[in-house]
């Protein structure tokens, strides 16, 4: 492998881990050595990096000797257990789970928005939730233009956001429907094919879900706007890849649709797709495989003189997870 850094990918056999391996190669990240780590049941399997087969090792507390950067995408419990061990071994951890996001000592980083916070890490840096990232990308330039006052966000989240099991369930139910067989849910709480499920994660106080409160709390932390009013509804939809969010945003200073469009066009990591006359607008099928988040349906709120509506789609396996983590690692090595 090329000269550079010793990298560990934790959760290497999962959907985000696989995307991480792919993007490390695509972005020519300077990898000197790559260590693929996963649970005991995945140990011994092969993953591919830069055309080379890599044998997956079991994730253990002593797995990080000599590692410079550890990219974690293995889940909250595993991060809580093993990230401190990685830091103790001398590695810098970029964690994609919910384990450390709201820890005041851990930067919650979207590099295009608050990359400067990465300088203040104490060994662990956190990636936001995938829905948060796709949502906050257009919120940042709007916040800069007119200071956000209130945000209402409704997500339409792909099944791959729930992992490989979610993808398998949508595929198997769709095939069963085509064969005229009964559709039986086993992973999701309800049938997902040809249906939408209006909650993701467990319900918490007030009738909201954990996923919805992640969006609320994480957007506030990323934008350094602790008093920002946010209400969220998260929905699972029968789409394989890429999340979409319908956003209504109110600003303190009026921002016209034209000015918002200009702000979005200038912002790195955003691409405006907004030509309704020719039926061009963001869709998951278009966003899949792209690094940029796509924003469109930009229009002024006819019920609020300082309100805007827009629609954003983003590949949650790329910018929503793997890419954002690698961008943080790029900040670290710079």
Catalytic residue of the set 127, 130, 143, 199: 130
C-alpha distances out from residue 191 to 12, 33, 171, 196, 316, Å: 29, 43, 12, 8, 22
Q: Tokens representing 44?
A: 């011994």
What is the secondary structure of 253-296 as a DSSP string? S---HHHHHHHHHHSTTEEE--BGGGTB---HHHHTT-SSEEEE
∠125-139-242 over CA atoms, to 5°?
75
Catalytic residue of the set 121, 127, 243, 293: 243
Tell which residue, 192, 291, 172, 178, has the closest CA to residue 242.
291
For residues 222 and 83, what is the distance between their CA atoms, to the nearest angstrom?
22
3 state DSSP class of 188? coil
Q: Tokens representing 146?
A: 């007119």
Parallel/antiparallel/unpaired status of strands 229-236 and 92-95: unpaired
List Cβ neighbours of 77 (8 Å cut-off, separation of 6 or more).
Answer: none
261 and 274 Cβ atoms separated by less than 8 Å: yes
∠204-207-212 over CA atoms, to 5°?
65
* CA-based max dimension of the chain: 59
3 state DSSP class of 327? helix
243 has catalytic annotation: yes
For residue 70, report the phi and psi dihedrals to the nearest 5 degrees. Answer: -115, 120
The DSSP letter of residue 151 is: E
Catalytic amino acids?
130, 243
């Amino acid at each position: 492998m090329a000269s550079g850094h010793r990298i560990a990918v934790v959760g290497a056999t999962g959907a985000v881990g696989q995307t991480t391996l792919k993007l490390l190669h695509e972005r020519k990240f300077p990898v000197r050595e790559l260590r693929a780590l996963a649970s005991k049941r995945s140990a011994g399997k092969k993953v591919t990096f830069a055309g080379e087969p890599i044998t997956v090792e079991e994730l253990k507390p002593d797995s990080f000797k000599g590692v410079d950067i550890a990219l974690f995408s293995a889940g909250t419990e595993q991060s809580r257990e093993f990230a401190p061990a990685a830091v103790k071994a001398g590695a810098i951890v970029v964690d994609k789970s919910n384990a450390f996001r709201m820890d005041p000592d851990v930067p919650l980083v979207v590099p295009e928005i608050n990359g400067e916070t990465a300088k203040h890490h104490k060994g662990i840096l956190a990636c936001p939730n995938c829905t948060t990232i796709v949502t906050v990308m257009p919120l940042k330039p709007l916040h800069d233009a007119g200071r956000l006052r209130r945000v209402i966000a409704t997500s339409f989240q792909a099944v791959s956001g729930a992992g490989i099991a979610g993808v398998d369930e949508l595929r198997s139910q769709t095939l069963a429907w085509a064969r005229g067989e009964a559709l039986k849910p086993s992973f999701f709480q309800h049938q997902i094919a040809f249906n939408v499920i209006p909650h993701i994660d467990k319900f918490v106080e007030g009738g909201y879900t954990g996923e919805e409160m992640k969006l609320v709390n994480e957007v506030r932390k990323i934008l350094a706007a602790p008093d920002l009013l946010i209400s969220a509804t998260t929905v699972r939809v029968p789409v394989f890849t890429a999340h979409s969010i319908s956003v209504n945003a109110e600003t303190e200073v009026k921002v016209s649709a034209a000015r918002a469009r200009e702000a979005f066009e200038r912002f790195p990591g955003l691409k405006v797709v907004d030509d309704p006359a020719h039926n061009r607008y963001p869709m998951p099928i278009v966003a899949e495989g792209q690094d940029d988040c796509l924003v469109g349906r930009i229009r002024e709120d006819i019920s609020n003189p300082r309100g805007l509506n827009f629609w954003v789609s983003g590949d949650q396996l790329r910018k929503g997870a793997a890419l954002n983590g690698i961008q943080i690692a790029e900040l670290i090595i710079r």
